[in-house]
Amino acid sequence: VTVIIYRIRLHPLSKYPGPYLARFTDWYSVYHCALGDRHIDFYRLHQRYGPIVRYGPHRISINTNTALRDVYHVRANVQRSTLFNVFSHFFKVSTVLTTISRKVHVSKRRIMTEALNATTMKGTEEVTLENIRFFCDRMLDASPEKSREWSSGRNMTLWCGWLLTDISGDAIFHKSWNMLRSTENRDIFHILGEGAGGLVMVGHMPDILKLKIDRILFRKATEGTYKYQKVAAEQSDWRLQQAENIKDPDIFGSLMNTKDPETGRSLTREELIGEAGFLIIAGSDTTASAVTATIFYLLHYPQCLEIARKEVDQHFPNIEDIRSGESLTACKYLYACITEAMRLCPSVGGITPREVMDGGIVIDNQEFPAGTELGVPHYALQHMEEYFPQPFSYVPTRWLLASQHEDGVPLEEWKLANSAFAAFGVGRTQCIGKVQAYSRAMTIIARLLRLFDMRLDPDSSIGEGNPVLGEGRHRKNEFQTWDQFTSRHDGPMVQFRPR
């Protein structure tokens, strides 16, 4: 009772508004993690309470572009939240994504940057294209008599997920899970998402693990997390055993052979497994969400689809020319289409928290003491009308300058939008694979546009908003996601026919 009274009345953060339950317990966050609506809840909270919201006893969400810049700045007096310690409970070590120590993070990031060099990534391009070709072939029904008709509906969440997970298996380990070709390993696709969701849920209240009640309250999420770790370990151990036999470049092999250029340290087996677990999610789940969301929005905004198609046709007379390079980079409108889809549907819709260190920090003229967890909610920020006029509409041209496109925007408006965009993170923890993710997404979508006519399955509305789905999910033209740190979703159902 004393603790509750202190947190409500006397705590240094008691002056900040927020839901009553969240003032004295983190069960509020655990509850919304379990529901999968944490991203929507942050949007609701900021609409109700303003730019600064207390969403836990020691947790503050700030929904401004200045906070995005200052909280995650390289020199900000913060470190990763202890929430990320939960990763080590399952993987035994921290990773470049989860380590709290700045010194350790810098060393791990140097190794990752060295390993993910241009030569390694270029060496994985052909196997990536092989998977994309097979994926495109599977968009049509097999029987020759139906080859010119509309195909049956394809669930793009599943197909894009299988594609990107296969690509990740090949690119990271030189061993695909063959999800596109076989049903045998397709459960892994769901395990990855459930594992990430389990990590973030118990991370908000580590006592759930200490008391061993996670298997009672959140059995499916906990089992998913252990399965996720097992997948990473089995794939990593197989690759370690094949070290002498595999000569072609892949990411895991590069990680095995890379040393920190300053200390000479290389990664241990446990660290390799941990980084592999992170890379599987980063290389498959997040990119698959971006591709799926882009397809959803292009089909709900057909005028945008036609502009993107004309651009692809102009730059690629030959389908096999669609690969990373100058011509793909020149598809500015397609790039903008993917960026706008990630604005509306960020792969990480909630918060990546940072803990204030000794000495405190000032954000938006507010002083926060040591121990406070701060963060910026991606979905909520990227739907702020202050930064994005018509925030729930799909407007790719907001990412193009007037000098690039007839419907482009002035420089100041473009800068403002970029200042509030966090799909790949910012600061020292910005995604290392951003360029590769865009390249893969653009290659997949460009090939689909070049090869096929596409339409939404008239007998399905999967993926669309509907009031029956709950508060904040009523917009028909908004792709629906469930926040499990990364985004879980279903649909859309899409039909294809050859052009």
User: Three-class SS of residue 489?
Assistant: strand
User: What does the block give as tokens for 194?
Assistant: 């459930």
Please name the amino acid found at residue 417. A
Residues at the binding site are: 431
CB 151 within 8 A of CB 495: yes
The rounded distance, in Å, linking the Cα atoms of 168 and 29 is: 31
Residues at the binding site for heme are: 431
CB 55 within 8 A of CB 18: yes
CB 291 within 8 A of CB 441: yes
Residue 325 DSSP code: S
Task: Please state at what angle helix 156-168 crosses helix 187-204, rounded to 10 degrees.
Answer: 90
CB 354 within 8 A of CB 79: yes
State the pairing for strand pair 481-484/354-356.
Answer: unpaired
User: Three-class SS of residue 488?
Assistant: strand
**Dihedral angle over CA of 264, 270, 271, 272, nearest 10:** 90
Write down the residue that tokens 């994504």 correspond to: 97
User: Three-class SS of residue 362?
Assistant: strand
CA diameter of the chain: 75
The rounded distance, in Å, linking the Cα atoms of 340 and 229 is: 33
